[in-house]
Structure formats: structure tokens, C-alpha cells
Amino acid sequence: NIKFQSPDFLIAVKPAGMNFHSEDGEAGFIVQLKQQMHSQSAETGHYQEASLYPVHRLDKMTSGLIIVALNQKAARAFQIMFSERQVRKYYLAISDQKPKKKQGWVKGDMVSARNGNWKLCKTQNNPAVTQFISVSLQPKERLYLLKPLSGKTHQLRVMMKSIGAAICGDSRYASKTQAKHEERGYLHAYALEFSWKGELHHFKHDH
């Protein structure tokens, strides 16, 4: 699902449950996106090979918006924008647990733990930083709007666990009971906002 395409970049929607890169013989999101673009160009009679340059990624369980550069110059520019926090990202998450706090900031260093997991520490040497607000949808179901100000591995999933509200369906950080009754992990890259060549771009995907 390509939502927007310019000469320099495109905005696509990654489904939940799909690896970003190809693994174990299964075509990942980027490969499938390239195949889709090739099929579309074939249908129009323009057989131009697409060059895709991922500038950020989403976990397998996470759905939502992805920026993909279409040339090396744009890729370098986006990498600088991400490093300088000029790309604003917003995520939606659902938890069935009561959080320690309903809104605020979570800051702390992230260190690797067992089996590929990560954990949040109280130290602040190179912290993961996330702002969040939440609202109750119904008993034992709470919606979170998350704004990460850094881009650490598993940042939002670990942050949610740290406030006592692991994401529903997160097989890595939620309890086995929480995870097994869900069809997917409920983390969604909902919106992106950034300026490109002097023009403000804002994208969102609700589903």
C-alpha cells in the first residue's frame, strides 16, 4: 500500500506480522514493495527498475507508515533528519493493563537482555526518550499515543512494559496470557511529519 510517492521518496504502509527485511527464505517488506512497484511499472509499460533505500524500519509485529528514499541523495538527507530528530513519528498502542501513570515521559538507557530482549535502565547516558498520553476505551483496554524522540531497538515495546502496560499481543514483552489471545501485537505507526525542500508533509494511517 503506497500512500504517497515523489521523485525523492515514498510513504508506504507495512502490514503487521511481516518482517522488514527478508528472513528464513521469506520475502520481507522491502522486497515485496519492490516487487509491487515493478508489477505496477510493467502494467503501465514503463519497465524502470526501482531503487529503494530504507531510512528507518518497523518491528515485525508493528504495522504502519514507513519512509523509503528513492535515491542515495534523499537517503542521506533523511538519515541526517532522523539523527537530528527532524522527523516526528507518532504511534498508537493498546494495552489491557493499568499503567503506573496515564501520561508523561519515559527516559532511560536501554541495554540488551536475554534472548534478544532489551530492558530500560534508570541511567541517562544515551537515553531512549518517549512522550505519551493515554485514554481508557473500556474496562481493561487503554489506548496510547506515543511520540518517540529517539529511535532505539524495541523502544516503545520496552517503554510500555516499564510503565506496567505491555502492549497487547506483544509475544516478546507481554505475558504469555496477554499475547496468546491476540491476533497481532497492537502497535501501529500512525503518523509522520517532516519538512522536505521547504514543504511540510504530514501523513497518517488510521487502520
- Supply the residues annotated as catalytic: 59
Q: What share of the chain is helix, strand, coil (3-state, %, to 5)?
A: 20, 35, 40
d(CA 107, CA 130): 7
User: Would you say 14 and 63 are in contact if contact means Cβ atoms under 8 Å apart?
Assistant: yes
Of 156, 184, 190, 144, nearest to 11 (Cα)? 190
Residue with cell 517488506: 29
90's grid cell:
507518532
